[in-house]
Amino acid sequence: MQVTTQVQEKESGWLNNLALLGGIVMGVLLFGLVIARMGLLNGLRGGGATAVSPETIIVTTENMQFGQNILRVKAGEPVSLALDNKDMYGHSFDVDELGWHVQMNANDQVDAEFTAVPPGTYTIYCAIPGHREAGMVATLVVEE
């Protein structure tokens, strides 16, 4: 039979409480890390607004769709895009023929600049597996 004193019980209780508190802190930190890696906090940061010039084309993504079905730009001119992903999962903006490939994190905005050459009609799509098949496709028209 083991006899414990009040001092041993207090020490044991104190150590148990410390271990519990450490576990809670570790759990909160791990949860925060997972949320941050998923990009879910991007929309909550202060100062997240990006100034957009009049020449910038804003392209939104939401519900597995590009917000615009057709984008028109001039050949040889710089193209400035503000890619605004409103979904809680990542997307991409791809035009294979022009070598344009931009990753978009969940609930984030990405600015990209390109030069559109030559004139023609090109397919814009999301390269995330299954997104193109779900209809995440648009058309880029490069005009003279």
The answer to whether 58 and 36 have CB atoms below 8 angstroms apart is no
pLDDT of residue 28: 85
Distance CA 53, CA 15 (A): 59
pLDDT of residue 48: 38
Sheet holding 91-95, edge to edge: 70-74, 137-143, 120-125, 91-95, 100-104
The answer to whether 75 and 142 have CB atoms below 8 angstroms apart is yes
Q: Which residues are paired to 103 by β-bridges?
A: 92
pLDDT of residue 122: 95
pLDDT, tens digit only, all 144 positions of the chain? 565 555 555 567 778 888 888 889 888 887 776 665 555 544 444 333 333 344 789 999 999 999 999 999 989 888 899 999 999 999 999 999 999 999 999 999 999 999 878 899 999 999 999 999 999 999 999 998
The answer, as to whether pTM is greater than 0.85, is no
pLDDT of residue 50: 38
